[in-house]
Amino acid sequence: MSKNAFKLTLYVTGSEWTYNWARVTILLTVEKHSKIFVAGHLGLAGSAIVRELKSQGFHQVLTKTREELDLLHQEKVNAFFRKEKPEYVFVAAARVGGIYANSTYPADFIYENLVIATNLIHAAHENKIKKLLYLGSSCIYPRATAQPMKEEALLSGPLEPTNEAYAIAKIAGLKLCKHFYAQYGDRFISAMPTNLYGPHDSYHPENSHVLPALMRRFHEAKEKRLPEVVVWGSGTPKREFLYSDDLAKALILIMNEYESQEFINVGSGIEVTIKELAETIKKVVGYGGRLIFDPSKPDGMMRKIMDSSKIRALGWRALNSLEEGIAKSYASALEHRAFQSENGKRHSLNSFSLLKK
Q: How many C-beta atoms lie closer than 10 Å to residue 290's C-beta?
A: 12
Pair 159, 144: CB distance under 8 Å? no
Report DSSP letters for 26-83, one per residue.
HHTSS-TT--EEEETTTSHHHHHHHHHHHHTT---EE---TTT--TT-HHHHHHHHHH
Pair 217, 209: CB distance under 8 Å? no
User: So which residues are the catalytic ones?
Assistant: 166
**Residue 117 belongs to what H/E stretch?**
helix 106-126
